[in-house]
Structures are given as C-alpha cells and as structure tokens.
C-alpha cells in the first residue's frame, strides 16, 4: 500500500515513467509469533529490503520511518520524506469505548513497549496483551482473544482506508508517538544520482524538519525497540517543538522533556531533549534490557 502510494505520487511528477512494485516479505512479516527483539531488533523490518537495494534488485525502498534504525548501511541513504500522515496513536475497541471508559483490568493488545509504558503509566491496572501482525490480523484478534481493544497507529489505518474502525484518537499529550510515526522514507543507493533527483520532488519541507529532529533525538539516546522510547516533533510556522520520553515497560518510570526553538534547529533540539532526559535518569533506564518489543 505504501509503495503503491509513492509510485502514484511519482507518476504525477513523472508521467512518462513506469514504476514496478516488487513485494519483499521480511522475517518480521513471516514470523509474526516471535518478538521483534528475538528476531534482531528494529532493523528486522528493513534489512532484507536494504539487501535487495544494495544488490541492485530494486532502485528504491519505501519504509515506515519508525521502523528504520538511525544508522543506515554504508552505501544507502534516505533521499525523500513525503508529507507526514497523522502521527497519533488510536484505540480500536469493542463497543467503541474510549480510554477513560475502559473497565478496570481491561485487556488491551499492543506489541509496542512504548505504548505499553504510557498506557500503564495512565492506568496501572490494565492488562497489556502482546500482539503482532498486520492491521487486519491485529483487529481480527480483538474478539477471539477476549481483548477490550487494541492500540494502533492512525497513519496505517488512514492509508488502508480503515479510519472508521477507530474508537478514539489519542493526542500526543496523552500518548506520545514513536519517532518517525506517520512518516515514509524513500531509501536509495547513495551513488544513484538519477534516482535521488527523481524522488526529490516528493520531499515535504516541514516533514523533513520534523523527522530529522526526531532521528537526532534517537541517535543521541542510542535506543532501539528494546527500550520504550517516544519522540515527536512538530513545526509551527517558523518554530519547532520536540517532545521526547523514555521509561520502563511497567510505566512506573517515565522521563519526558519538551523543548522549542526555530524551525531550522531540529538536530540541535533533538539532541538537547535527549541530553536532558539522559541527565534526569534516562541513561540508567536505557541500560535495562527487556525481552519483548
């Protein structure tokens, strides 16, 4: 779906070209009953696709940026960031209940430590049930697994045209999104100037500023999917705000920071937010190892 959307956008700018979609199923797609950390961490979503890119089997790769490690393989780069989709998290629940309407000890499904951390910080009595799979699979688990609901990214549901499934949109003040949530990145070979020029037309200025700030935040923390980390930047005209958070999966420790500056100060702000969190106990939290993502 993501690749088709990018191909469609490219055709608008380059109507004389043909684009072939090459589906690549990664280990994370094939082994949905195994925790991501056991498969090798966050990069498992993109590694096999990047291997094909380096081999020349494909000319560009479309990724959800929240799945892309901050360190890219040598010879690859992210050449374009199209306009960001809705970065919020959402609840899909039985009876269309909102977060504040859930009963005590409600069972909520999510495979994200970040979501788990924040949900339990708000409602410590929740039972968080680990689930993985594509959107259809996860939504289909609600009733048979006795869940009251699940938490998902709004962006994925919007791209699939399933936004009617949403029971509640959660603002970033309630649940801070993952760094890169809602952002697609187009990865290319660094020596392919022709493809770089081709995809550059898709860059969205505000999105580029936001994602670079968020990835500077992640880079300074050095965290992956093994640690609950949230980070979200927003451009407001000539200013930029970035919020970051780290904590423990049980929600008992949660360290957050928000800073504001100029729209072109993203990398500096991202690193500054990370430094503030590290100084307030984040370093110790990041040293803890967890068994699930």
Q: Which of 121 and 222 is assigned the larger pLDDT? A: 121
> CB within 8 A of 203, min separation 6: which ones?
80, 81, 82
Q: Are 233 and 240 in contact (CB under 8 A)?
A: yes
Structure confidence by residue, pLDDT tens digits, 169-205: 999 999 999 999 999 999 999 999 999 999 999 999 9
Contacts 24+ apart (CB under 8 A), 96-105: 96/167, 97/148, 97/149, 97/167, 98/167, 98/168, 99/123, 99/168, 99/170, 99/174, 102/126, 102/148, 102/149, 103/148
The verdict on residue 231 lying in a domain is yes
Are 4 and 77 in a shared domain? yes
Residues 122-142, mean pLDDT to the nearest whole number:
94
Residue 15 above 70 pLDDT?
A: yes
Are 106 and 157 in a shared domain? yes
Are 232 and 244 in a shared domain? yes
How many residues are there in the chain? 293
Are 216 and 165 in a shared domain? no
The verdict on residue 175 lying in a domain is no
Structure confidence by residue, pLDDT tens digits, 51-99: 999 999 999 999 999 999 999 999 999 999 999 999 999 999 999 999 9
The tokens describing 140, both together, are 């289909």
The verdict on residue 177 lying in a domain is no
| Domain endpoint, select from 148, 170, 192 | 170
Are 225 and 249 in a shared domain? yes
Are 19 and 157 in a shared domain? no
Quick one: pLDDT band at residue 39, thresholds 50, 70, 90?
very low
3-state helix, strand, coil in the chain (%, to 5): 40, 20, 40
Q: How many whole angstroms separate alpha carbon 248 and alpha carbon 118?
A: 9
The tokens describing 9, both together, are 């956008």
Q: Are 245 and 258 in contact (CB under 8 A)?
A: no
pLDDT confidence of residue 36 = 47
The verdict on residue 176 lying in a domain is no
Q: How many whole angstroms separate alpha carbon 139 and alpha carbon 93?
A: 9
Residue 222 above 50 pLDDT?
A: yes
How is the beta sheet containing 149-153 ordered, strand by strand? Answer: 127-129, 107-109, 149-153, 89-93, 168-170
Are 219 and 166 in a shared domain? no
- The tally of domains found in the chain comes to 3
Quick one: pLDDT band at residue 227, thresholds 50, 70, 90?
confident
> CB within 8 A of 21, min separation 6: which ones?
3, 4, 7
**What stretches of 4-145 adopt beta strand conformation (E)?**
61-64, 76-80, 89-93, 107-109, 127-129
Structure confidence by residue, pLDDT tens digits, 134-162: 899 999 999 999 999 999 999 999 999 99
The verdict on residue 242 lying in a domain is yes
The verdict on residue 74 lying in a domain is yes
Alpha helix (H) ranges present in 149-265?
154-160, 193-199, 205-221
User: Using the 8-state DSSP alphabet, how is residue 273 labeled?
Assistant: H
pLDDT confidence of residue 24 = 84
Instruction: Provide the pairing of β-strand 239-247 with 229-236.
Output: antiparallel
Query: What is the domain extent for residue 253?
Result: 205-293
Tell whether pTM > 0.85: yes
Are 289 and 158 in a shared domain? no
Residue 253 above 50 pLDDT?
A: yes
The verdict on residue 26 lying in a domain is yes
Are 155 and 198 in a shared domain? no
Are 94 and 164 in a shared domain? yes
If we measure between CA atoms, which residue out of 211, 181, 240, 207 comes closest to residue 82?
A: 207
Active site residues: 67
Q: What angle do CA 93, 112, 277 make, to 5 degrees?
A: 125
Are 234 and 289 in a shared domain? yes
| CATH label of the domain that carries residue 186 | 3.40.190.10
The verdict on residue 122 lying in a domain is yes
pLDDT confidence of residue 291 = 45
Are 106 and 244 in a shared domain? no
pLDDT confidence of residue 28 = 52
| CATH label of the domain that carries residue 263 | 3.30.160.40
């Amino acid at each position: 779906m993501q690749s088709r959307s990018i191909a469609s956008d490219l055709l608008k700018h380059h109507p004389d070209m043909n684009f072939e979609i090459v589906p690549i199923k990664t280990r994370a797609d094939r082994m949905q009953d195994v925790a991501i950390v056991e498969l090798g961490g966050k990069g498992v979503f993109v590694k096999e696709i990047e291997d094909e890119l380096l081999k020349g089997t494909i000319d560009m790769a479309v990724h959800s940026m929240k799945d892309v490690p901050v360190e890219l393989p040598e010879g690859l780069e992210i050449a374009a960031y199209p306009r960001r989709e809705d970065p919020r998290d959402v609840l899909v629940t039985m009876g269309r209940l909102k977060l504040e309407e859930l009963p005590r000890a409600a069972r909520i499904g999510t495979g994200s430590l970040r979501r788990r951390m924040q949900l339990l910080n708000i409602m410590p009595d929740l039972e968080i049930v680990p689930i993985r799979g594509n959107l259809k699979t996860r939504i289909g688990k609600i009733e048979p697994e006795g869940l009251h609901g699940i938490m998902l990214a709004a962006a994925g549901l919007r791209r699939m045209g399933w936004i009617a499934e949403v029971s509640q949109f959660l603002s970033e003040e309630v649940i801070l999104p993952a760094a890169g949530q809602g952002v697609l990145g187009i990865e290319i070979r660094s020596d392919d100037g022709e493809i770089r020029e081709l995809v550059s037309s898709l860059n969205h200025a505000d999105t580029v500023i936001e994602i670079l700030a968020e990835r500077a935040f992640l880079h300074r923390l050095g965290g992956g999917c093994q640690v609950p980390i949230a980070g979200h930047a927003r451009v407001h005209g000539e200013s930029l705000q970035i919020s970051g958070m780290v904590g423990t999966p049980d929600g008992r420790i949660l360290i957050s920071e928000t800073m504001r500056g100029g729209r072109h100060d993203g990398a500096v702000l991202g690193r500054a937010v990370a430094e503030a969190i590290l100084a307030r106990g984040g370093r110790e939290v990041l040293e803890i190892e967890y068994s699930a993502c």
